[in-house]
Structure 1
Amino acid sequence: MGKARFYYKNANAPEPNKPNHIGATVLIFYKGKVLLESRADSNRWAFIGGGLLLNETLMDCVIRETMEETGIQLQNSDIVFKKLFDDPSIIIEYPDGNIFRSIMAVYQTNLINMPELQCSNESNELKFFSPDELKNIKIVETHIPILNEFFSDIFIG
């Protein structure tokens, strides 16, 4: 099976063939480091998050996706909305042929204790990275605007 492909400000990105994909992403910090997952569908690093279900709020999506992908149980009171990323050039192409424009609500939380991380079948690995370490990893292109916004002093896409 092929790999998922991610595009940001790429003139060669394919045209979406499905309705917009709305999702939520969370920056999970512990002692100055941020949690990322190595995605099984692309072997690329990404922040924690995923697609919004029809019957949930964006906050519910963040809580569900965090639990599914990491085993961390977040509470509404621990999560702060940061920014909506709705650039039309944020495109995801899946191996099944579905191509979406992605709209992401980004949230942030700071953990007090080191969590016991549990990888899902969507992830190869979960790891906390210092801001400086982020410039040395292969991150999905759709998360480059998040890096530019929140880690601009170390990363320019």
Structure 2
Amino acid sequence: MGRRIDYYDDPAAPQANSLVPSVNVVVTNESGEILLIHRTDNDNWALPGGAIDLGESVAQAAVRETKEETGIDCEITGLVGIYSDPKHLIHYTSNDEVRQEFSIVLTARATGGDPKTSDESRAVRWVPASQVTERQMDRSMRLRIRDYLGEPESPVIG
């Protein structure tokens, strides 16, 4: 399995060779805890998410990716923002793809399922909101979560 390497404003980063719309999901439970995965490809904690496939909507991709990576069913409730900073590059070493960031971050509430790992997640945890950013994560993921926790009046466009 390849690795995922995130770069931000790094002159040593490889050149982007793709732009893939993706989604991340801030899923909360009845206690207000946030669902996080411990990724297998970079050893960071992150919100569940992934690429939007042809033939599916943003919301469908969010629900599918959450279920695949965590075992949790969810219902989309809102939008945190759209993140497309060309300074953030993601290098997938398995196929040498270098993506420019393009992620739509949604909110959701858990509706069922039980936390379970997948090929992409070595751990799945419900984490109190006050402790989420204490975990090891890429700066872009930390920014997305902080934007959510800051409860902006309108979606972030960046």
Q: Give unmatched runs, 5+ long, in structure 2.
A: 152-158
Is the aligned partner of 1:8 residue 2:8? yes
Of 90, 94, 117, the residue aligned with 1:92 is 90
* 1:26 CA displacement: 0.6
For residue 63 of structure 1, give the secondary structure of its aligned residue in structure 2.
Answer: helix
Q: TM-score, normalising length from structure 1? A: 0.82
Q: Equivalent residue for 1:104?
A: 103
Deviations along 1:17-42, whole A, 9 cap, x unmatched? 2x202101110112121111011111
Supply the AA of the counterpart residue of 1:72: I
Deviations along 1:89-124, whole A, 9 cap, x unmatched? 2211111221101211111013367x4112111110
How far apart, CA to CA, are the structure 2 residues paired with 1:34 and 1:16?
31
**What is the count of residue pairs matched by the alignment?**
149
Supply the AA of the counterpart residue of 1:60: Q
Aligned sequence identity (%):
23
Q: Equivalent residue for 2:23?
A: 24
Q: TM-score, normalising length from structure 2? A: 0.82
In the TM superposition, what are the counterparts of 1:23-102 in structure 2 within 5 Å?
23-30=22-29, 31-75=31-75, 78-96=76-94, 97-102=96-101
How far apart, CA to CA, are the structure 1 residues paired with 2:2 and 2:111?
39
Q: 1:150 to 1:8 in 2, by over 3 A?
A: farther
Contact preservation (8 Å) 2:133, 2:142: no
How far apart, CA to CA, are the structure 1 residues paired with 2:105 and 2:32?
18
Supply the AA of the counterpart residue of 2:38: S
Contact preservation (8 Å) 1:7, 1:141: no
* 1:139 CA displacement: 0.8
For residue 102 of structure 2, give the secondary structure of its aligned residue in structure 1.
Answer: strand
* 1:137 CA displacement: 1.2
* 1:2 CA displacement: 5.3
Supply the AA of the counterpart residue of 1:35: L
Contact preservation (8 Å) 2:74, 2:110: no
* 1:11 CA displacement: 4.4
Structure with more strand by fraction: 2
* 1:10 CA displacement: 3.9
Contact preservation (8 Å) 2:36, 2:47: yes
Q: Equivalent residue for 1:147?
A: 145
* 1:14 CA displacement: 2.6
Q: Equivalent residue for 2:121?
A: 123
